[in-house]
Structure 1
Amino acid sequence: MSNLPDLDAMPKVMGDDGQFHATDEEVYLSGTPIEAWVALGFFWVLGATVFYQFFTRYVLNNSASWTEEIARYLLIAVVFTGATIGVAKNNHIQVDFFYKFMPQWLSNVMNTLVDIMRIGFFGAATFLTYQMMEKLGNYKMTIVDLPMNLVYGVVLLGFAAMCIRAIWVMKIHWQRGYTVLQRPESEMTDR
């Protein structure tokens, strides 16, 4: 007796005509949050900047010095706007092992505490970023003659958006009566 799978029982991807037959699901972008579009915009500008750097360095043999610094700051923008998507989807790293063994009342207390601490963290990070921006004043970037507060402004907006999304997530948790920690199979929707 062989341990090989029955090939006739497996789904067919190749038709009798020898052609690959598959259909893609339709893509709906209507539910895409604004943060995702902003992150996508920063990503495309980052990609164009890195391509320009590659072109000037290897094709023209005269590297544009500003591209490395701007690419670094654009990557920061992608990260902080992208992190907002993670907060909105409530899919950041979490440990749900202990929630399987906790009594329901303790699980509810822990969920509320996690939500409050998340909101507090993002609120504090927003405030501290604002304070740092005030202290920087007119400090300029190293190569490009632009204020560093442009970069920290994106970070500030990212933290503020994460704080607003964390409040939104807590509201949904209260409405549903459970969180993803209690029911890992559930998704984050506004229902």
Structure 2
Amino acid sequence: MSDKIISDDGEFHTEDEEFDLSTTTPEAWLALAFFWLLGLTVFYQFITRYVFNDSAAWTEEIARYQLIAVVFIGAAIGVVKNNHIQVDFFYRHMPARLGRLMSGFVDLVRIAFFAAAVVMTVQMMLKIGNQTRITVVDLPMNIVYALCLLGFAVMLLRSVQVAVIHYRRGYSVLERPDATMQDR
């Protein structure tokens, strides 16, 4: 097929790209599930408020907690893809050896940050225990914090995996911005 979308006879021609879900990580599926739950909850809230004129009180708070789950678990997707915010300007102008050292330092700081977040989340959960409850449903608030903990723990695991990949191949995307995590 040619690169032309509209042929000489004026017809529209495209081909769908092959879509492969086999590389989708478990945390991505979990984040998608929470996203759909969030969507259904907000839809239910909309229906009860604007169609039945009797808003379900629980939906706003539960939707907030579902959004927290989407954010914290979904953030692990960015870690595994190594799509965090980066400034590669300096890496282009510094010596390669210094760039490699700085890149390794960034990997270690990221690992330390997520490890600290895991520890502090566990400490907070232990401190509040099951006494703090969710307002509209009688469940412990630690359920919400457990989702945050799960997100941080997966981000920690994935950041270690990313650091190992960087170490084995000898460079990171900071040093070579055109590289992806699939380049090995």
TM-score by shorter chain over 0.5: yes
**CA displacement at 1:40 relative to structure 2:** 0.5
Question: 1:45-75, CA deviations, whole angstroms, 9 ceiling, x for partnerless residues?
Answer: 1110000000000011000010000000000
For 1:68, give the aligned amino acid. E
From the CA coordinates, give the structure whose radius of gyration is larger: 1
**CA displacement at 1:17 relative to structure 2:** 5.1
Distance 2:15 2:72 in 1: 35
Runs of 4+ residues deviating >2 angstroms: 11-20
| Structure 1 pair 51–181 and aligned structure 2 pair: CA distance change class (3 A) | same
Distance 2:89 2:7 in 1: 45
Q: Structure 2: state its 5+ residue gaps.
A: none
2:126 to 130, 134, 139: 134
Distance 2:108 2:6 in 1: 52
Task: Note if contact 1:172-1:190 (Cα within 8 Å) is conserved in structure 2.
Answer: no
Task: Note if contact 1:84-1:165 (Cα within 8 Å) is conserved in structure 2.
Answer: yes
2:74 to 64, 69, 82: 82
TM-score, normalising length from structure 1?
A: 0.91
TM-score, normalising length from structure 2?
A: 0.94
> Match for residue 31 of structure 2?
39
Query: What number of residue pairs does the alignment pair up?
Result: 181
Percent identity at matched positions? 62
Q: Structure 1: state its 5+ residue gaps.
A: 1-10
Distance 2:163 2:78 in 1: 14
Q: For 1:54-93, what aligned pairs fall within 5 Å after superposition?
A: 54-93=46-85
